Amino acid sequence: MNLNTIAQVKRPKSFEDVEWRDGHAWLAGGTWLFSEPQVATDTLVDLERLGWPSLTATPTGLEIAATCKIRELAAFRGPAAWRAVPLFQKCIDSFLMSFKIWNAATVGGNICMSLPAGAMISLTAALEGICTLWPVGGPPREVTVVDFVTGMHTNVLQKGELLRKIYLPSAALTKRFAMRQVSLTHFGRSAALIIGTLGDNGYDFTLTVTAATPRPVQLKFTKLPSAAELRQAIEERLPPDAWFADVHGSAPYKRHITFYLAEQIRAELS
C-alpha cells in the first residue's frame, strides 16, 4: 500500500549519520511496514545501504545481520558439524508468506515485529541466539533472543534503537534438534512452534515454546527428562493464563497441543 504520511525516505550509509526523532521508523524489507497505515510515521530510514554482510560464519558461531533476507538464510549451508542448520529451512517453511515476502523480508524485521508466530524468533531463540542492539547515543548492548521479545508485538527496543545482528553460538548449532509446528488451518499462522535441542550423550536438553505463548518460553534441563518430568516442568512454567489466545487457536487448545508436541520432541530425541 502507499503510505501517504511518509514525507521522506532516508538512506544513510552509517548508523552515525542518523539523527533520530519521533516520526522516524527503520525500514528493513518493508513487508509489514507497507501492509498497513503508519499514521505516526513521516520518515522511513532504510537499512539497506548500511551494507552489513548478511551471514558471517566463524568457528565459534554464525552472525546473522538484522538485514539478512529470509531467502539468504534459506540458502545458507554450514559446516557438517552444525547439525542444527536444517532447522533454518524448517522454521522458514512455517513462516506464512508469499514469494514477495520471501524475497524482501529480513530476519531482523521478523524479530522486531515480535509476533508470537514469528518464525525467526522461534529459530534464533531455540539456537540460543544473542541480539546486538545499537541504542541512540549509547554503547552497543546484548540481549538473548528469548529476552528480546517481551510480549505480543512488544520488545526491549528503546526509541530509535536498532537491532544490528543475531549471533548463534557454534555450541547450539552443533546440537541435534526436533521441531513440531501446527496451525489450526492448513495455511494458517502457527498455533504452536516448538523446538527441542539436545547435546551429545543425552545432556543439555532445551525446549523452546513459541507461537502458543505471547513470547518465547525456554525450559532447560541438564539431561533429557522423562515424559512426566517434562510435563511437570511445562505445567509449572506455564500456568493456564500464560497461553496466547487468538483466531489461530484458543488458550486451552494451544496448551493441549504444546504438551502433545513437546512429548513427541522428547521421544524423537531420546
Ligand X SMILES: Cc1cc2nc3c(=O)[nH]c(=O)nc-3n(C[C@H](O)[C@H](O)[C@H](O)COP(=O)(O)OP(=O)(O)OC[C@H]3O[C@@H](n4cnc5c(N)ncnc54)[C@H](O)[C@@H]3O)c2cc1C
| Residue 65 in the binding site for ligand X (CB under 6 A) | no
How is 92-129 classified by DSSP, letter by letter? HHTS---HHHHHH-BHHHHHHHT-TT-HHHHHHHHTT-
| Residue 115 in the binding site for ligand X (CB under 6 A) | yes
Contact 23, 36 (CB under 8 A): no
| Residue 123 in the binding site for ligand X (CB under 6 A) | no
| Residue 124 in the binding site for ligand X (CB under 6 A) | no
Closest to 60 in 3D by CA, of 153, 203, 174, 183: 174
Which of 106/213 has CB closer to ligand X?
106
Taking the C-alpha atoms of residue 138 and residue 179, their distance in angstroms, rounded to an integer, is 38
Taking the C-alpha atoms of residue 90 and residue 75, their distance in angstroms, rounded to an integer, is 12
Which of 78, 109, 214, 249 binds ligand X (CB under 6 A)? It is: 109
Closest to 184 in 3D by CA, of 245, 265, 262: 245
Q: Looking only at residues 185 through 214 of this chain, which bind ligand X when binding is defined by CB under 6 A?
A: 189
Taking the C-alpha atoms of residue 118 and residue 104, their distance in angstroms, rounded to an integer, is 16
| Residue 3 in the binding site for ligand X (CB under 6 A) | no
**In the complex, least distance from residue 69 CB atom to ligand X, rounded to whole angstroms:** 8
Task: Report residue 59 CA to chain centroid gap.
Answer: 23
Which of 9/267 has CB closer to ligand X?
9
| Residue 110 in the binding site for ligand X (CB under 6 A) | yes
| Residue 25 in the binding site for ligand X (CB under 6 A) | yes
| Residue 172 in the binding site for ligand X (CB under 6 A) | no
From 7-15, 106-114, 220-228, 255-263, span contacting ligand X (CB under 6 A) = 106-114
From 8-16, 48-56, 99-107, 201-209, span contacting ligand X (CB under 6 A) = 99-107
List the 8-10 sheet strands across, edge first.
Answer: 8-10, 43-46, 24-27
Per-residue binder mask for ligand X (CB under 6 A), 34-53, x = binder: -x-----------x------
**For 42-60, b where at least 16 C-beta lie within 10 A, e where not — what string?**
bbbbebeebebebeebeee
Interface residues toward ligand X, by CB under 6 A:
25-33, 35, 47, 66, 95-97, 101, 104-106, 108-110, 112-113, 115, 117-119, 157, 162-163, 189
